[in-house]
Every structure is written in structure tokens, then in C-alpha cells.
């Protein structure tokens, strides 16, 4: 007997539940025409501006031309990549993606002169550019910061040429995980279960049967261990390369180099990790102990941490119901925001079906100047509404930002990226809480908020960050590491956070092999940073709705216009102090207490 998950082919899913790509291009011919046009535009750009960025007027014309090129490139990329995301087995989509990648590699080499020449200009000239075109504020601010660490034009050109090779460790890791890792089936009580990386991450770790959960964890970890040394060597390549570039550019520490891109300093980074490791840990330990009690487990192990508090209670939610949930939840942000988000259904921004070859999880992305696109897999559960409203939070920010910012400055710092999405999740929980007096539903909503919103962002990713910090400290001190040392660091972080009542089973120390985040610099900690901002803004909203709503909408329009500290201030949150983090932890502590109290009445 085999337990499998039956999925349909992409061609058999109902079209009305898929996203509408004709909003980008009506057909493949229009896509091809734009590819040809971009090649011509880049050629014309090179002829007109290479070596001619001396006058302000030519700089302005160059910026307009560049914005046009990048806007079209964004459409080309999305049209290809979104088709591949819903079906990796689609040969046409893969072909479109290859065409985009070839175009992108070709033009990035040709456009690299632009920044290099701008960086040669005096600061006053860069300031004049912003005065004439305020939408370029973010772009020029970041350029000015780079200026300090800029190398000679020849060296910059060489580094730009090698750029694709610098991302090799990430793709080696991705290929090992997706194509080479061969997981063994496992058996529990005469039933054979298939195993893969995605099956473990998406289903088995949540399985309500402890025997299945533990056998799955064992099978998963056994295969991971076979790749430990290769992945450690690959990872060492990544971090030592980052250190070399940092040194080459004149940074004393790799931390400063990696944080410069986010426009924050080490104080903010360290505070996030230290405060959560010490103050949130007891709250999460209390919650883990409560799950253990409610679920009647003999012991709580690392492999049990992801389970639901109340798996039997799963109210079914249809896509039709989701419209109402979303509409009610975002009401505090006003009718304009509500109407903007409501467009997602008739305009088909969202891809709901589950089919063979579709990416798992969820994401939102917006081709510049077009409507947003959201990928998810609808399973009729309340958790899906959380995913949806999270992604709609990103979508709302993308629309408001793109309306107000140039394509060259619309991306907010990663420090802020998860704030709009998690803010909407909090709105959803409050809305459910207000509409129901049923204790089991309330407890369900609180525990969903803890597991969906906070566990992932505040715990899983933060523990990655705590581990990463120790690895980069080794690198900064000129030391190397092997797979065993990485496992030891990871195990130590897990033991410190979860305390003596959660057994860190064998295999848990290999968690450092499970995330591609480690190839994205100091990215992991930003999840909790964004969430501390959204939690404090949410608490402000409960206290003072009118002012807080206005501040939040103003924050959403910023994109990259302001660096994180100033941007958070617009949202009414002061991230130069530990107040937002402390308030968030207090809020979580109260939530856990509410869950425990509700359990006594159920």
C-alpha cells in the first residue's frame, strides 16, 4: 500500500482559478517583439550615453531610457517566470525563461557602464539629479553610499563580468537539493510513504501521527547527512567569497558589507537576534509545553514543533468565503485599500490550483506598472486565507509604491519587506477574533497566528540568523569550518532557544542544510524585523485607528524612498530602540496565555 498525493496536469485545471497573464502580454508574439525591442533599445542606449554622461540633460534622458528598458525587462521576466512557476514541466515556459535569461545576461553586461560612470561624477552632480527628478531619490542615495567603497572602473568592470559566477554556490546548493538528493521511502505500520525534500517540508513535518512524523524526520535527515560535506564546502565558498569582496572594497567586517545593502547597521542586526534569543525563547517554550500537553505527547522533540494544536478542528474555507474574510479584515485600512485588494479576484491576480509541476508555498510579484500576481495552492483551509492575505499585503504595497516611485527605486530594504504582509495577517486574526465568540475558533485563530505568522518569521528564520551570525564571526576572524562544525553551531543555537524540555533529536543539527537563505547574505533576520514593525503598527492601530491607518498607508507608498529607520518612523515605529521588539514579544506572551486559558474552557 502506498500513500501518494494525486495531482492533476496543469492543462486540466479550471482557467478561472488561474492567474491572467494576458495583462502582461496578449500572446507569445508580443513577448518576442518586446525582446527584440529591448535589444535595440540597449544598443541605442550604449551608443547615446556610453562615455557621454557629462551633462545633466543627457543623464536625465539616460535615466528615462533606462527606466523604459527595465520596465520592459520586468514584463519579459514575469511573463516567462510566472509560466514556469505554475508548471516546471512546461517545455514552452522553460524555453521562454531561457530567452529571458539570455537577454538579461547580455544586457546587464552592456548596461554596467552606466553606474560606473555615474559613480565617477562628483556628489553635487548626483544631488542635482534628485532635485530634478525626486523619484530617483532611492537610487541616487544608494549610489552615493556605494561611492565610498567603489573600486577603479576597470576593477568594477571585471567584478561585474564575474557576477554570474559569484552566484554559483546558490545554484549548486539548489541543484543538489532539487535534483541530486535521493530520499528513501519509509514505512510505518505496513504503509509505504514516498519521501522528497518538498514532501517533508510541506506535509510530513505537520503530520498529526507521531509515528509518521518521526519516521519521516529520520528518513529525511539520513539523506541530508549524505550531502553534509559537499554542501558545507559549497557554503564555505559562498561566505569566504563575501568576505573577500568585503575586504577588497575596504570593509573591516563582512557584517558591515552585507548590511550596507539593507541600509542598517550592526546594532539593529544584533539587537534583533539577542532580544529574541533571550526574551522570546521562554514564551515559545511555554507554547511548546502547552502543545505537548494538549496533544498528549510523551515528550516534545524538534520533529514535533510544527504540529497543530487542534488538528481536528479545521473549518473549511472556500475561495468565495476568502473574499469575505479578506474584505472584512482589511476594512480598517479604508475603502480605497479595500477596493484595491478586491480587484484581485475579478482581475485574476491569483493562481489557486494545485497541479503537477507547480511551485509550492506562496509568493507575490508585480511586473512594474501591471497588476500583481500571487501564487499559492488552495486547500480549503483557513491557513490558505492567511497565505492569501499575506501576499495581498505585498501586492498592496507594490501597487502603492509603483504608483509613487521609479522602477529604479521601488524596492524597499529587505529589513522592511515583510512588514506589509504580516500586518495584514494581524488584521485577519483581529477580524476573526471580533466576529466569533466560539472559543475553539478563537483558539484556532490565535494558534494559526502564532504558527503561520510568528513561528516561521520570528523563530525559524531568526534561529537561522543566530546560526549565520556565528558562522560569519568565524569568517571575520579568518577561520574556516567544515560540516561538523556547522552542525555543532546549529545544534547549540537550537538547544539554547528551546531549552531542556524540547529534545533536539538527531538530525535537527542538519537544519542548516535546509534553506537557500544562507546564500542571500544576512537576509534571514529581516523577517523578524519586518514583523516587529508590523506588530507595533498593529498595536498602534488598535489604540488610535485614524492616525495609525494614515501612517501605515503613507509607509506603504514609500518603496525605497527612505532608509529603514526613517521609513519605519513614517509607520509610527521607532526601530532605533528595542521598544517594537519588546512590545511584540509581550503581545506574543499574552497570545500564548489566551490560548492556554481558552484550552481550559474547551
Can you give the binding site for Zn ion, defined by CB under 5 A?
421
For residue 421, the minimal CB distance to Zn ion (Å) is 4
Question: From residue 46, how far is each of 72, 255, 407 by CA, in Å?
Answer: 17, 36, 20
Q: Please name the residues in contact with 348: beta carbons below 8 A apart, sequence gap of 6 or more.
A: 16, 18, 19, 20
Identity of the residue, 366 or 421, whose beta carbon is nearer to Zn ion in the bound complex: 421
To the nearest whole angstrom, how small is the minimum distance from the Cβ of residue 545 to Zn ion?
24
Cell of 549: 491607518
User: 199: closest CA among 360, 378, 382?
Assistant: 360
Q: How far is CA 583 from CA 138, 542, 566, in A?
A: 30, 14, 20
Nearer to Zn ion, 86 or 376 (CB): 376
DSSP codes joined into one string, 180-210 = I--PPPEEETTEEE---HHHHHHTGGG-S-H
> What cell numbers appear for 546 in the block?
485614524
Q: Is the dihedral of CA 233, 197, 453, 209 positive or negative?
A: negative
361: enclosing H helix or E strand: none
Residue whose CB is less far from Zn ion, 421 or 524: 421
**Nearer CB in complex with Zn ion: 227/527:** 527
The C-alpha atoms of residue 394 and residue 229 are separated, in whole angstroms, by: 37
Q: Least Å distance between CB 309 and Zn ion? A: 23
| Residues 6 or more apart whose Cβ sits within 8 Å of residue 25 | 31, 34, 75, 79
**Min. distance of Cβ 418 from Zn ion in angstroms?**
5
Supply the minimum distance, in Å, between the C-beta of residue 261 and Zn ion.
19
- CB nearer to Zn ion: give 361 or 480: 361
Burial of 189 (0-12, 13-18, 19+ CB in 10 A): exposed
Beta carbon of residue 363, minimum distance to Zn ion (angstroms, whole number) = 7
Name the one residue in this structure whose C-alpha cell is 499559492.
376
In the complex, what is the shortest distance from the CB of residue 530 to Zn ion, in angstroms, rounded to a whole number? Answer: 8
Is 536 exposed, middle or buried, given 0-12, 13-18 or 19+ CB atoms closer than 10 A? buried
Q: Which residue has the cell 535521493?
A: 182
Give the nearer residue to Zn ion in terms of CB position, either 421 or 451. Answer: 421
State the minimum distance, in angstroms, from the CB of residue 18 to Zn ion.
21
Identity of the residue, 45 or 555, whose beta carbon is nearer to Zn ion in the bound complex: 555
221 or 460: CB nearest Zn ion: 460
Residue among 364 and 509 whose Cβ is closer to Zn ion: 364
Distance of CA 544 to the CA centre of its chain: 30
Shortest Å, Cβ 348 to Zn ion: 21
Contacts of 566 (CB under 8 A, 6+ apart): none
Euclidean distance between CA atoms 564 and 542, whole angstroms? 23
Rounded least distance, CB 423 to Zn ion, Å: 11
Nearer to Zn ion, 289 or 383 (CB): 383
Amino acid at each position: 500500500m502506498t500513500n501518494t498525493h494525486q495531482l492533476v496536469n496543469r492543462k486540466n485545471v479550471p482557467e478561472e482559478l488561474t492567474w491572467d497573464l494576458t495583462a502582461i502580454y496578449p500572446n507569445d508574439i508580443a513577448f518576442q517583439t518586446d525582446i527584440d525591442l529591448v535589444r535595440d533599445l540597449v544598443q541605442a542606449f550604449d551608443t547615446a550615453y556610453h562615455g557621454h554622461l557629462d551633462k545633466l540633460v543627457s543623464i536625465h534622458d539616460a535615466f528615462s531610457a533606462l527606466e523604459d528598458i527595465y520596465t520592459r525587462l520586468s514584463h519579459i521576466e514575469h511573463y516567462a517566470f510566472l509560466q514556469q512557476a505554475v508548471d516546471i514541466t512546461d517545455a514552452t515556459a522553460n524555453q521562454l525563461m531561457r530567452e529571458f535569461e539570455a537577454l538579461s545576461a547580455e544586457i546587464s553586461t552592456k548596461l554596467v557602464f552606466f553606474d560606473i560612470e555615474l559613480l565617477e561624477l562628483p556628489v553635487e552632480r548626483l544631488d542635482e539629479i534628485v532635485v530634478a527628478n525626486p523619484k530617483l531619490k532611492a537610487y541616487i542615495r544608494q549610489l552615493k553610499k556605494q561611492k565610498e567603497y567603489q573600486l577603479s572602473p576597470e576593477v568594477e568592470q571585471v567584478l561585474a563580468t564575474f557576477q554570474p559566477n559569484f552566484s554559483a554556490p546558490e545554484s549548486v546548493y539548489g541543484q543538489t537539493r532539487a535534483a541530486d538528493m535521493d530520499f528513501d521511502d519509509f514505512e510505518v505500520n505496513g504503509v509505504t510513504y514516498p519521501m522528497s525534500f518538498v514532501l517533508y517540508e510541506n506535509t510530513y513535518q505537520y503530520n498529526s501521527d507521531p509515528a509518521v512524523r518521526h519516521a519521516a524526520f529520520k528518513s529525511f535527515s539520513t539523506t541530508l547527512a549524505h550531502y553534509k560535506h559537499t554542501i558545507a564546502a559549497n557554503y564555505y565558498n559562498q561566505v569566504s567569497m563575501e568576505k573577500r569582496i568585503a575586504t577588497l572594497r575596504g570593509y573591516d567586517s563582512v557584517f558591515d558589507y552585507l548590511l550596507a545593502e539593507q541600509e542598517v547597521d550592526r546594532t539593529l542586526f544584533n539587537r534583533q537576534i539577542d532580544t529574541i534569543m533571550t526574551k522570546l525563547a521562554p514564551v515559545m517554550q511555554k507554547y511548546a509545553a502547552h502543545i505537548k500537553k494538549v496533544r498528549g505527547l510523551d515528550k516534545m522533540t524538534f520533529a514535533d514543533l510544527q504540529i497543530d494544536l487542534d488538528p481536528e478542528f479545521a473549518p473549511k474555507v472556500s475561495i468565495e468565503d476568502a473574499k469575505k474574510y479578506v474584505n472584512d479584515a482589511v476594512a480598517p485600512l479604508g475603502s480605497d485599500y479595500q477596493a484595491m485588494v478586491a480587484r484581485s479576484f475579478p482581475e485574476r491576480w491569483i493562481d489557486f490550483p494545485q497541479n503537477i509541476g507547480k511551485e509550492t508555498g506562496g509568493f507575490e510579484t508585480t511586473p512594474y506598472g501591471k497588476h500583481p500576481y500571487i501564487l499559492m495552492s488552495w486547500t480549503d483551509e483557513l491557513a490558505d486565507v492567511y497565505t492569501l492575505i499575506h501576499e495581498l499585503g505585498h501586492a498592496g504595497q507594490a501597487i502603492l509604491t509603483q504608483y509613487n516611485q521609479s522602477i529604479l527605486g521601488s524596492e524597499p530594504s529587505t529589513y522592511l519587506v515583510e512588514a506589509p504582509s504580516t500586518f495584514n495577517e494581524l488584521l485577519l486574526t483581529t477580524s476573526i477574533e471580533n466576529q466569533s465568540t466560539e472559543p475553539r475558533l478563537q483558539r484556532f485563530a490565535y494558534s494559526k497566528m502564532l504558527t503561520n505568522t510568528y513561528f516561521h518569521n520570528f523563530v525559524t528564520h531568526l534561529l537561522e540568523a543566530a546560526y549565520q551570525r556565528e558562522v560569519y564571526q568565524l569568517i571575520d576572524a579568518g577561520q574556516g569550518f567544515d560540516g561538523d562544525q556547522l552542525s555543532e553551531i546549529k545544534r547549540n543555537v537550537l538547544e539554547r532557544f528551546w531549552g531542556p524540555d524540547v529534545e533536539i533529536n538527531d538530525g535537527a543539527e542538519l537544519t542548516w542544510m535546509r534553506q537557500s537563505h544562507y546564500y542571500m547574505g544576512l537576509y534571514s533576520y529581516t523577517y523578524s524585523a519586518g514583523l516587529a514593525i508590523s506588530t507595533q503598527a498593529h498595536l498602534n492601530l488598535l489604540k488610535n485607528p485614524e492616525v495609525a491607518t494614515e501612517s501605515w498607508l503613507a509607509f506603504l507608498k514609500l518603496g525605497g524612498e527612505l532608509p529603514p529607520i526613517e521609513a519605519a518612523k513614517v509607520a509610527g515605529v521607532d526601530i532605533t530602540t528595542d521598544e517594537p521588539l519588546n512590545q511584540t514579544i509581550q503581545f506574543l506572551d499574552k497570545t500564548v496565555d489566551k490560548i492556554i486559558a481558552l484550552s481550559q474552557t474547551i
